[in-house]
Amino acid sequence: MTTNPPRVDPALISALRADLHTSQFTVAGVLDLLGPMAAAALDREQALPVQRVTAATDAPCGTLIRLFTLGDPVDAAEAERALPTLGVEGAVALGLLAPEGDGVVALCDLRPYAGDDVDWWVASDLDELATRRPVRQDHVLGIGGASTTLASWTPRPQVARALDLGTGCGVQALHLAQHADEVVVTDLSERALAFARFNAALDGAGWQVRSGSMLEPVEGERFGLVVSNPPFVITPRSGEVPLYEYRDGGAAGDAVVRDLVMGVGAHLEPGGIAHFLGNWEVPRGTTWTERVGGWIEGTGLDAWVVQREVQDPAEYAETWARDGGHHPGTADFNRMYAAWLDDFESRDVEAIGFGVVTLHRREVERAPFVDLMDVSWPVESPMGPTVLAGLRARCWLAEHDDDAVLDTSWSCAPDVHEERHSLPGAEHPSVIVLRQGGGLRRHLTLTTVTAAFASVCDGDLTARAAAAAISGLLDLDADAVRDEIVAFVRDAAKDGILR
């Protein structure tokens, strides 16, 4: 069924919003109704446990889940009870529902979303869970893993202007409106922008909505924060793979992310931050840090890139051939799988990385910092406060010399603990580790010098005084101890292990 995005009618949308509240169709309400098992199954895109729960209740929230999440037909009278103010007639007028026999069916996905202590609702195209078939090429994606990852990792300083680049249905813009005076959203897809306009109206947001590719709609403008979940999926240009608008940027290889890294700096205010997800190719005989570092070189921006996952070409092909509703073993799946393998082979790609890119336009004259790190383990959620604190710490370290580091009194963060590992019967530990409980959850293996220094990091002694005491106590060269402590502090302080 070909459907149009829902329409913006302020009076009808106001009635819809009231009904969604009354029916407890919120994140908390859905979780209470479904329970943890069915809710977890829904996150895995498994419908049966959700169908069993919602079939056993006449609660309005259950009706709305069946309609807008599962895509199941619902008796018109049930829909009327779940939407008492808007009514079925109003829902049809908005383009949310369509009659089907004695019942109604949903024409779009509509589900609750929450963040920043605010309840929202997000409309998008019905996914393959509801339609039971592959999605259309102009499909507008709803709340997914990438969008929630980006929202969790985004730093959130208060800014005058923020940009959601490639907004889709507007998930990131909902968050931005909580800490930006003005929010601009852009997308190449007119269908996506129609959903974004509807969601802005439903959630009471006032975004500037602009049509165009990547940074073109904001030429000559600058922002305090640019956020993007760009169409970063590396897609063969052979014609064998459907070109889904939500994931394909129309370029070969990883050029979409490369161009964003190299071009976004022109749109950042001094002190401005760009934050986005990306994929990058790693050709045989190179490293991902060489690849991404090459893009950053010459931008003049501070850069902090965290690689979260690495896949080989076959794993990557399997992931994205399944995306959109295609199933392993089918002719379509195998054709796409082979196209991806051929595409990567043509560029001698050995691996594909996924990660989070944070760029920053510095406010003072200094050399930019570049920090490219692998973090493949679970981290704290949300990560945004950690990213903002880490960015500020890296700026301080870049703007202060070693004497300033030594003249500072450092403390271990409250979530940092020391671990000591000993061989059975040994008098002294063979390994001492500082482990961070929150943030990136890093751990640092300590030497004799850094273990001694960490033991006195309580905010009383400066690093210089501690270094002098340690070199005297251990009868070590004073300059060497100071150098080791400075290097340790710079590594530990950038991620909040020391403060």
Could you read off the pLDDT tens digit of each residue along the chain, which spans 499 residues? Answer: 568 999 999 999 999 999 999 999 999 999 999 999 999 999 998 999 999 999 999 999 999 999 999 999 999 999 999 999 999 999 999 999 999 998 999 999 999 999 878 999 999 999 888 888 888 888 899 999 999 999 999 999 999 999 999 999 999 999 999 999 999 999 999 999 999 999 999 999 999 999 999 999 999 999 999 999 999 999 998 888 888 888 888 888 999 999 999 999 999 999 999 999 999 999 999 999 999 999 999 999 999 999 999 999 999 999 999 886 778 889 989 999 999 999 999 999 999 999 999 999 999 999 999 999 999 999 999 999 999 999 999 999 999 999 999 999 999 999 999 999 999 988 889 999 999 999 999 999 999 999 999 999 999 999 999 999 999 999 999 999 999 999 999 999 999 999 9
- Hunting for tokens 């991806």 — which residue is that? 340
3-class DSSP string for 204-243 = CCCCEEEECCCCHHHCCCCEEEEEECCCECCCCCCCCCCC
Q: Residue 35: left if φ>0, alpha if ψ -120 to 50, beta else—which one?
A: left
Q: What does the pLDDT read at residue 247?
A: 85
CA quadruple 228, 229, 231, 233: dihedral positive or negative?
positive
Query: Could you give the CA distance from residue 124 to residue 126 in angstroms, rounded to a whole number?
Result: 6
- What is the DSSP-derived secondary structure letter of residue 305? E
Which H or E element spans position 19? helix 10-22
CB 131 within 8 A of CB 103: no
Q: What does the pLDDT read at residue 304?
A: 98
CB 212 within 8 A of CB 315: no
Instruction: Give the number of other CB atoms < 10 A from CB of residue 140.
Output: 26
Query: Could you give the CA distance from residue 41 to residue 36 in angstroms, rounded to a whole number?
Result: 9
Q: Which amino acid is at 435?
A: R
Query: Could you give the CA distance from residue 242 to residue 323 in angstroms, rounded to a whole number?
Result: 10
Q: What does the pLDDT read at residue 1?
A: 54
Q: What does the pLDDT read at residue 326?
A: 79
3-class DSSP string for 232-280 = ECCCCCCCCCCCCCCCECCCCCCHHHHHHHHHHHHHEEEEEEEEEEEEE
Beta-carbon contacts of residue 225 (< 8 Å; ≥ 6 apart): 155, 157, 159, 161, 162, 163, 176, 180, 272, 273, 274, 275
- The answer to whether the predicted template modeling score (pTM) of the entire model surpasses 0.85 is yes
Query: Could you give the CA distance from residue 317 to residue 337 in angstroms, rounded to a whole number?
Result: 5
Q: What does the pLDDT read at residue 324?
A: 66
- What is the DSSP-derived secondary structure letter of residue 64? H
Q: What does the pLDDT read at residue 225?
A: 98
Q: What does the pLDDT read at residue 137?
A: 85
Strand pairing of 268-283 and 208-211?
Answer: unpaired
